[in-house]
Chain A
Amino acid sequence: MIEIQSIKKSFEDREVLKNISARFDNGKTNLIIGQSGSGKTVLMKCIVGLLAPTSGKILYDGRDFVAMSKKEKALLRREMGMIFQSAALFDSMSVLENVMFPLDMFSSMTLKERTKRAQQCLDRVNLSEAQKKYPGEISGGMQKRVAIARAIALNPKYLFCDEPNSGLDPKTSLVIDALIHDITEEYQMTTIINTHDMNSVMGIGDSIIFIKEGRQEWKGDKTQVATSDNQALTDFIFASDLLKKARQAFI
Chain B
Amino acid sequence: MQQLGVDSIGIVLMISFFIGAVICIQMKMNIQSPWMPRFTTGYTTREILLLEFSSSIMCLILAGKVGSNIASELGTMRVTQQIDALEIMGVNSASFLILPKIMGLLTMIPVLVTFSMAAGFGGAYAISFAGILTPEDLTYGLQHSFKQWFVWMSIIKSFFFAYIISSVSAFYGYTVEGGSVEVGKASTDSVVHCSMLILFADIFLTKILS
Contacts and interface: CB of A to CB of B under 8 A. Distances in A.
B90 A84 contact: no
A106 B90 contact: yes
Interface in A49-104: 50, 73-78, 80-82, 84-86, 88-91, 101-102
Interface residues of B, number: 12
Nearest to B76: A91
B82 interface: yes
Contact of B84 (A75, A88, A101, A105): A88
A9 to B, nearest CB: 16
Contact of A50 (B80, B84, B90): B84
A50 B87 contact: yes
A208 interface: no
Most chain B CB within 10 A, of A81, A88, A160, is at A88
A119 B84 CA distance: 24
B24 to A, nearest CB: 42
Interface in B130-182: none
A192 interface: no
B82 A90 contact: yes
Interface residues on A, range: 20 to 34
Contact of B89 (A77, A89, A91, A160): A77
A50 to B, nearest CB: 6
Contacts, number: 47
B6 interface: no
A81 B87 CA distance: 11
A82 B82 contact: no
B92 A88 contact: no
Interface string A27-47: 000000000000000000000
A88 B90 contact: no
A88 B89 contact: no
Contact of B88 (A50, A75, A86, A89): A50
A74 B92 contact: yes
B81 A85 contact: yes
Contacts of A78: 89-90
Contacts of A106: 89-90
Contact of B80 (A74, A82, A88, A101): A88
B209 interface: no
B85 A82 contact: yes
B91 interface: yes
Nearest to A48: B88
Interface string B74-107: 0001001110110111111000000000000000
B89 A105 contact: yes
Contacts of A80: 88-90
A250 to B, nearest CB: 37
Contacts of A76: 90
A74 B89 CA distance: 8
Nearest to B80: A86
Interface of A: 48, 50, 73-78, 80-82, 84-86, 88-91, 101-102, 105-106, 160
Given A74-B92, A78-B89, A91-B80, 5 more contacts: A78-B90, A88-B80, A88-B81, A90-B85, A105-B91
